[in-house]
Amino acid sequence: MGFRHGEQLPPRLLLTNDDERFMVEALKEAWRAFDINEVPVGAIVVHDGQIIGRGSNQVELLQDATAHAEMLAIGAAAQAFGGWRLEDCTLYSTLEPCCMCAGAIFLSRVARVVWGAPDTRLGANGSFVDLFSLPHPFHQLSVSPRVLTEWCAKPLQQFFQKRRAENQS
């Protein structure tokens, strides 16, 4: 079982850089989603080494297909930042962003995206389509994929194992 919010990291998971340290914060958001029976995806937005926005998937809770972790983190960051242009910010997501979230990333001018587990069904950075590789007319985006991939996949694996078990009973 992967770590959950409030628990210590396993000794074999040694965080070696800021991307890993911040991805752990996004993982805490994913476990929050897991705890409320949402698909466990978490995201945070960081500016100057500080978390300015957090989001966990809330599609079922809000009955809103757009309530993805990345969308909610971007919205929270824009409120905290005092504007929608999130230039010089990094978005960390435990799952490869989908096309909708990729659009929000471009529109909000996030400078960098770091993601954990690939999403073969909807991933917009090469797993399904690769929107991030296309040249953008006014925005440069840096992407760091597959950070703490195994740990980011754990809440998703556990969630869908639990869901399948519930459906069999």
Whose CA is closest to 87, among 108, 102, 101? 108
Task: Report d(CA 169, CA 58) in Å as an integer.
Answer: 25
Q: Give Cα separations from 81 to 44, 52, 84, 89, 138 (angstroms).
A: 13, 7, 8, 10, 21
Catalytic residues: 70
